[in-house]
Amino acid sequence: MKPTDLLSLLQDVYRDKLALRRRHERAAELVSGYEFNNTYQYVIQREDTHLSWLRSALDALGVTADDGGAPPDVPVPAKGEGGAVALLEADVVAVREFIARWRTRVHQVSQARHRKMLELMMGEAAEHQRFFELAAAGRVDLLGRRPDSVGTGGGVMSTRWVS
């Protein structure tokens, strides 16, 4: 793969991953169920790591990552668990499409360091897809189980920081 092709690929993957991360952040604001929201928080944290890797790779090639672009339009779901399930199912599709767009192109990368980074991202994206599938199916123990006597306090707030 030519250096210009590698640069273009890394920039395109970065923009696509950033859009996916922004979509998950918006969905997390709309999903108040504690366990489902925790799934989003975990995925967002890993996506932040992926974006950091991609920014570092682009920096090493002498290019600054483009963080521009409008945030994705995420429809406000119906209230309650049904709305959360609709968002989770939409994220299953979004992550599946992300993997389909990039998986075959990743194997064309000749530089081992960048190929391994992208392969790791694809593997973790597949894990995120599985998390969203399980959450949409109603699984609440994706990130661990809590004792029966411990509740969630009715859900999470829609904002991370409250003054």
Q: 156 lies in a domain?
A: no
Q: 34 lies in a domain?
A: yes
Q: 153 lies in a domain?
A: no
Q: What is the pLDDT of residue 79?
A: 64
Percent pLDDT > 70 in the chain is: 79
Q: What's the pTM?
A: 0.82
Using CA atoms, how far apart are residues 84 and 27, in angstroms rounded to an integer? 8
**Range of weakest confidence among 20-24, 46-50, 52-56, 142-146:** 142-146
Cβ atoms within 10 Å, residue 140: 16
Contact 19, 72 (CB under 8 A): yes
Q: What is the CATH number of the domain that holds 119?
A: 1.20.1260.10
> How many folded domains does the chain comprise?
1
Which range marks the domain in which residue 26 is found? 3-66+75-136
